Amino acid sequence: MTKDRLEAALGLGFSDPVPLRQALVHKSFINEHGGQPVDSYERLEFLGDAVVELVVSTELYRRLPHLSEGELTKSRAELVCGTSLAHAARRLGLGDLLLLGRGEEANGGRQRESILADAFEAVVAAVYLDQGLERASEFVVHALAEELDSFLKQGGPRENPKSRLQEHSQSLGMPTPRYRVVFVEGPDHNPVFTVEALIGDEPWGVGKGRSRSDAERSAAEDALSKLLSRPGAVHA
């Protein structure tokens, strides 16, 4: 992995290449090739997480002045999630630049959402340490432009279908919904979950998703739709 290749991928020049190189070292590589745990990207990920949250919080505060504090918090959580950060990492080609152990490589680590999201945060930290907050902010906004633009068109956080289903089912005197994974298909690094939404022991909805949480949301939407379509149903 060369400094030039990294800089070309990110579109930035670095005066100190050490944090940037470390930002792409997974702990599995350290375990197999020697070194200390602090030599992986995990410390940088810790710092980068804070920088990303600050940048996204600032963008939301400036660009969505009509949102309340609670809505801003939900909006940030929706944007600063593993899926969004992994998408940004893929667009930057970070998966191809990661240093992984042989086992993690064989298990599809270069495309694993959690690893890509962590690596993105670590790279943000490297930019912050080398070039300061202003440049790091520009980098985050550019890297997450697709997600930010989509969210701004949406105008605010999506309503959580799991919360709506719980509120509606309880208003009908029904038990609190629960969720059960019924099937997982696909490779380990890119699974698809099938989840049932149960109210009592009765399955009311089924959903699929790339993560368990996405599948649960889909199942909740399906269950809510069925509850609301019953004769005489009162809409939530």
Question: In the annotation, is 118 catalytic?
Answer: no
Question: In the annotation, is 121 catalytic?
Answer: yes
Pick the catalytic residue from 49, 118, 216, 222.
49
Rounded distance between C-alpha atoms, residue 92 and residue 8, angstroms: 10
C-alpha distances (whole Å) from 191 to each of 89, 108, 165, 196 are 19, 11, 25, 16
- DSSP H or E segment with residue 183: strand 178-185
Rounded distance between C-alpha atoms, residue 92 and residue 120, angstroms: 9
Task: Report the SS3 class of residue 58.
Answer: helix
Radius of gyration of the chain (CA): 21
Pick the catalytic residue from 78, 113, 118, 121.
121
Residues annotated as part of the active site: 49, 121
